[in-house]
Amino acid sequence: MWLHTKDTFFFSGGDAISMNVGTTIIKSRHSVRKYKPAPIEEVVIRDVLECARHAPTAMNLQPWLFGVIRDRELLKKIAGLTDHGKFIADAAACFAVCGERKAKYYLEDCCAATETLILALQAYGVGSCWVAGEKKEYAEDVRILLKVPKEYTLVSLVPAGYPADLTIQKKKEVDLTVFYEIYKEE
Ligand SMILES: Cc1cc2nc3c(=O)[nH]c(=O)nc-3n(C[C@H](O)[C@H](O)[C@H](O)COP(=O)(O)O)c2cc1C
């Protein structure tokens, strides 16, 4: 099966391990902080939101709200509030993942939704970057700016757009990060 994303074709079939479409998409994801001016198609926005709402949540509470911000002035204001998210100003869209404070595991739930959203965007060839979030002082300022009810808090921002540039970060080798059964020092 051929899978078409914006700029890339992936092939899946035959060797299930080396040519798996899903894992190829997961491994091809990198944070993208420079975007082409092209908008993200509405059908893509809807489908990635559909994917995000399928993320697992503790007790299936789904304690979230997903904001979709495309207004340029609003994007600039959000960017201005962040410390390490100035590139949000130039994104085609920015998702704001908000968690319901009273749900015990809202942070884990919203992080699961954030990663699901990011991977769904990647499946369409749309680049994005996880921008913090919940532990930042500006979380409350962003909530107020977006008029999100106070029962919710910002968990993450996900600016997105078709990639103009990206940096590929080095990752730890799997054998350095994994243990099987009981952990033992070599
Ligand atoms: C919880 C969290 C918060 C992050 N916050 C920011 C941020 O504020 N600004 C930013 O540019 N990148 C942010 N990132 C992206 C990381 O810098 C990035 O994932 C990391 O450098 C690895 O690069 P990669 O995503 O390309 O694999 C954040 C990622 C996570 C998971």
Nearest to 134 by CA among 75, 69, 63: 63
With a 6 A CB cut-off, is 6 part of the ligand 1 pocket?
no
According to the model, what pLDDT value does residue 101 have? 98
Its pTM stands at 0.92
Q: What is the distance in angstroms between the CA of the first residue and the CA of the last residue of the chain?
A: 43
With a 6 A CB cut-off, is 28 part of the ligand 1 pocket?
no
With a 6 A CB cut-off, is 84 part of the ligand 1 pocket?
yes
| C-alpha Rg value of the chain to the nearest Å | 18
- Tens-digit pLDDT profile for residues 154-184: 999 999 999 999 899 999 999 999 999 999 8
* Cα(143)–Cα(30) distance, integer angstroms: 27
Q: Domains in the chain, ordered, with CATH? A: 32-165 (3.40.109.10)
- Tens-digit pLDDT profile for residues 108-136: 999 999 999 999 999 999 999 999 999 99
* Cα(92)–Cα(57) distance, integer angstroms: 28
According to the model, what pLDDT value does residue 19 have? 73
Candidate from 18-22, 27-31, 167-171 with smallest mean pLDDT = 18-22
Tell me the pLDDT band of 148, cut-offs 50, 70 and 90: very high
On the CB side of 142, CA atoms within 13 Å amount to: 33
With a 6 A CB cut-off, is 158 part of the ligand 1 pocket?
no
Nearest to 4 by CA among 33, 46, 44: 44
Which residues does residue 2 pair with via DSSP β-bridges, in sequence order? 11
Element (H, E) at 34: strand 34-35
Cα(130) to centroid(ligand 1), Å:
5
On the CB side of 173, CA atoms within 13 Å amount to: 2
- Does residue 30 register a pLDDT over 90? yes
According to the model, what pLDDT value does residue 9 have? 46
Which residues does residue 152 pair with via DSSP β-bridges, in sequence order? 100
Phi/psi of residue 144, nearest 5 degrees = -65, -45
More confident residue, 97 or 1: 97
With a 6 A CB cut-off, is 132 part of the ligand 1 pocket?
yes
Candidate from 23-37, 45-59, 172-186 with smallest mean pLDDT = 172-186
Tell me the pLDDT band of 186, cut-offs 50, 70 and 90: low
According to the model, what pLDDT value does residue 6 have? 44
